[in-house]
């Protein structure tokens, strides 16, 4: 079996930078999409670091799931050693092709789809809050696609020293097509539109270009990345039509076989499944979600809001859907700052706690007064007496 591919990554129309990264390596049979997030350009660094580490580990002989775990370790280490990158994260969905098998490693909400005999199925499960709510029956897939918190992901690379990697194996047949993409595609286009486009364009590059163009036409709110892989018979073009066969997507490792229901009847079975499966899933999601939220909300930064120096709670640009909130505005404006400070605040100057952030504001205030030469009582500034003890970490799940 041989393969053809098409790919494209695009900044979209709603973001200043492209924080997605892409890997297309036909020689080694490795392809991946990573969607980074974090303040300033940290998202870009996170996704690029993940792709680089993935490739290095894979070429070093590691299987794709171990290579994704190595990518996690690389992003986590980089975030730990550089304060400006702290809190960055990325999704990663990788496909390794060998003979006629595709092995997938997956963390986050970048997706892989398989088209076989014209039918398109989603191979990967999103690690996102809305996907969890859909699985629990609390949202329909249509509601999930429009949900304001659809960007919140429950698993990402770079957040913890270890990460659980989902793996899948697809036994390919000639004519199969795999799509890997970031959420900038899937939030803009419905599954039906994506499937129709994949069917209409037999050329993989043309299909990739068309999908990106259509996502941009639909608004292009986010960065858009698409990789398309076509499995071809060694003889040449894929056969136009083949007898229909069931799609063989095998999640690995397989779940243990379901135990028979206990003799006492239904009630016992329902109760047990709730305890064994329901509780742990809810608990794990709540803890992961709460932990990210707690991190995103316990840090502070000082930035500019309509030219006014403002103290924010959170991470510039938000983290995994947790948007920063205004702690308070100060009396200082951008015009009161030196050029260097102004540039510094443009991107948000980050602090581990509120008191450090307040000290920084106090320094800006003193510097402004000194430069203006208006006062000698610089010890009684606006913020000297307003230090408030830090609030305990919160585990709220609403913004
Ligand atoms: Mg995205």
CATH number, domain with residue 74: 3.60.40.10
Same-domain pairing of 15 and 82: yes
The Å distance, Cα 216 to ligand 1 centre, comes to: 13
Handedness of CA 58, 233, 112, 17 (dihedral sign): positive
From the CA of 47, how far away is ligand 1's center (Å)? 11
Q: Would residue 250 count as lying in a domain? A: no
Same domain, 190 and 50: yes
pLDDT of residue 285: 66
Cα–Cα distances (Å) from 58 to 62, 93, 153, in that order, read 5, 14, 25
Cβ-contact 230, 4 below 8 angstroms = yes
Q: How many angstroms does the Cα of residue 186 sit away from the middle of ligand 1?
A: 9
Taking the centre of ligand 1 as the mean of its atom positions, its distance from the CA of residue 331, in whole angstroms, is: 36
26 CA → ligand 1 middle, Å = 24
Q: Determine contact, residues 116/123, Cβ cutoff 8 Å.
A: no
pLDDT of residue 234: 83
Bridge partners of 112, per DSSP, are 180
Give 222 Cα–ligand 1 centroid separation in angstroms: 6
- 260 inside domain: no
- DSSP for 147-163, please give it: -TTTT-BS--BTSSS--
CA distance 111 to 35: 11
Q: Both 8 and 153 in a single domain?
A: yes
Per-residue pLDDT at 395? 37
Q: What confidence score (pLDDT) does residue 232 get? A: 96
- Per the structure, the complete domain to which residue 298 belongs is given by 277-399
* pLDDT (0 to 100) of residue 168: 96
Q: How many Å is the maximal CA-CA distance in the chain?
A: 88
Residue where a domain terminates, one of 212, 232, 252: 232
Tell me, yes or no, whether 226 and 286 share the same domain.
no
Q: Are strands 111-116 and 92-98 parallel, antiparallel or unpaired?
A: unpaired
Q: Which of 232, 257, 288 is the last residue of a domain?
A: 232
Q: Is residue 287 part of a domain?
A: yes
262 located within any domain: no
Q: In terms of domains, do 287 and 209 share one?
A: no
User: Is the same domain home to 191 and 325?
Assistant: no
* 360 Cα to the center of ligand 1, angstroms: 33
User: Rounded to the nearest whole angstrom, what is the distance from the C-alpha of residue 8 to the centroid of ligand 1?
Assistant: 14
Ligand 1 mean position to 167 CA, how many Å?
21
202 and 291 within one domain: no
- pLDDT confidence of residue 387: 39
Query: What is the residue-wise DSSP string for 339-399?
Result: HHHHHHHHS-EEESSHHHHHHHHHHHHHHHHHHHT--S-TTS-TTTT---PPPPP------
Dihedral (CA of 345, 36, 318, 288) sign: negative
Residue 237's SS3 state is coil
- In angstroms, what is the span from residue 110 Cα to ligand 1's centroid? 8
- For residue 147, give both structure tokens: 């949900």
Choose among 189, 196, 197, 191: nearest CA to 216. Answer: 189
At CB < 8 A and 24+ separation, what contacts does 132-141 make? 132/281, 132/285
Report CA(389)–ligand 1 centroid distance (Å).
36
Residues ≥6 apart with Cβ < 8 Å to 277: none
Position 283 scores a pLDDT of 63
Q: Is residue 155 part of a domain?
A: yes
214 and 355 within one domain = no
User: Number of structural domains, the chain?
Assistant: 2
Q: What is the pTM of this model?
A: 0.62
Residue 66 contacts residue 77 (beta carbons within 8 Å): no
Domain match, 203 and 292 both: no
Question: Ligand 1 center to residue 223 CA distance, Å?
Answer: 6
Q: How far is the CA of 384 from the centre of ligand 1 (A)?
A: 41
Using DSSP, state whether 27 is helix, strand or coil.
coil
Q: Is residue 396 a part of any domain in this protein? A: yes
Quote the ligand 1 centre to 38 CA distance (angstroms).
11
Report, in this order, helix, strand and coil percent for the chain, each rounded to 5.
35, 25, 40
Which residue ranges of the chain lie beneath pLDDT 50?
238-246, 254-278, 375-399
Q: How far is the CA of 336 from the centre of ligand 1 (A)?
A: 36
Listed residue (79, 65, 74) closest to 32, CA to CA: 65
Can you give the pLDDT at residue 163?
95
Same domain flag for 20 and 138: yes
d(CA 159, ligand 1 centre) in Å = 17
Q: Are residues 84 and 167 in the same domain?
A: yes
For residue 308, give Cα distances in angstroms to 83, 343, 353, 363, 371.
Answer: 25, 13, 21, 16, 18
Encoded tokens for 297 = 């909300």
Residue 261 forms part of a structural domain: no
Gap from CA of 355 to ligand 1 centroid (Å): 33
Last residue of a domain, one of 195, 216, 232: 232
Query: Which pLDDT score, from 0 to 100, does residue 24 have?
Result: 98
> What is the 347 CA–ligand 1 centroid distance (Å)?
20
Give the Cα separation of 300 and 87 in Å (integer).
12
Residue 237: inside a domain = no
| Whether residue 340 is found in the same domain as residue 281 | yes
**CA of residue 133 to ligand 1 center, whole Å:** 20
């Amino acid at each position: 079996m041989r393969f053809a591919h098409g790919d494209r990554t695009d900044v979209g129309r709603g973001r200043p930078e492209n924080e997605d990264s892409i890997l297309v390596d036909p020689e080694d049979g490795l392809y991946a999409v990573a969607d980074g997030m974090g303040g300033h350009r940290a998202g870009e660094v996170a996704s690029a670091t993940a792709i680089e580490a993935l490739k290095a580990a894979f070429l070093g002989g590691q299987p794709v799931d171990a290579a994704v775990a190595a990518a996690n370790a690389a992003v986590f280490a980089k975030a730990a050693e550089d304060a400006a990158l702290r809190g960055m994260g990325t999704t990663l969905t990788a496909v390794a092709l060998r003979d006629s098998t595709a092995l997938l490693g997956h963390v986050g909400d970048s997706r892989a789809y398989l088209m076989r005999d014209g039918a398109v199925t989603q191979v990967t499960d999103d690690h996102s809050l809305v996907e969890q709510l859909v699985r629990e029956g609390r949202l329909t897939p249509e509601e999930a696609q429009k949900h304001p918190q659809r960007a919140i992901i429950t698993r990402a690379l770079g957040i913890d020293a270890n990460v659980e990697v989902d793996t899948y194996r697809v036994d390919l047949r000639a004519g199969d097509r795999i799509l890997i993409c970031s959420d900038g595609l899937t939030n803009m286009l419905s599954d039906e539109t994506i499937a129709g486009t994949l069917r209409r364009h037999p050329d993989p590059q043309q299909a990739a270009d068309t999908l990106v163009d259509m996502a941009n036409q639909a608004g292009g709110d986010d960065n858009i990345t698409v990789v398309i892989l076509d499995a071809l018979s060694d003889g040449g073009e894929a056969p136009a039509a083949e007898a229909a066969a069931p799609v063989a997507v095998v999640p690995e490792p397989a779940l243990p076989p379901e135990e028979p229901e206990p003799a006492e009847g239904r009630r016992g079975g329902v109760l047990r499944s709730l305890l064994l499966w329901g509780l742990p899933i809810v608990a794990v999601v709540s803890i992961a979600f709460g932990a990210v939220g707690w991190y995103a909300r316990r840090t502070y930064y000082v930035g500019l809001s309509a030219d006014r120096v403002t103290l924010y709670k959170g991470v510039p640009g938000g983290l995994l859907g947790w948007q920063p909130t205004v702690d308070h505005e100060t009396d200082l404006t951008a015009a009161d700052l030196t050029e260097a400070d102004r540039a510094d605040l443009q991107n948000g100057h980050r602090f581990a706690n509120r008191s450090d952030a307040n000290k920084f504001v106090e320094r800006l205030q003193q510097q402004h007064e000194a430069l203006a030469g208006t006062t000698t009582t610089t010890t009684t500034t606006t913020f000297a007496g307003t230090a408030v003890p830090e609030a305990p970490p919160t585990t709220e799940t609403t913004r």
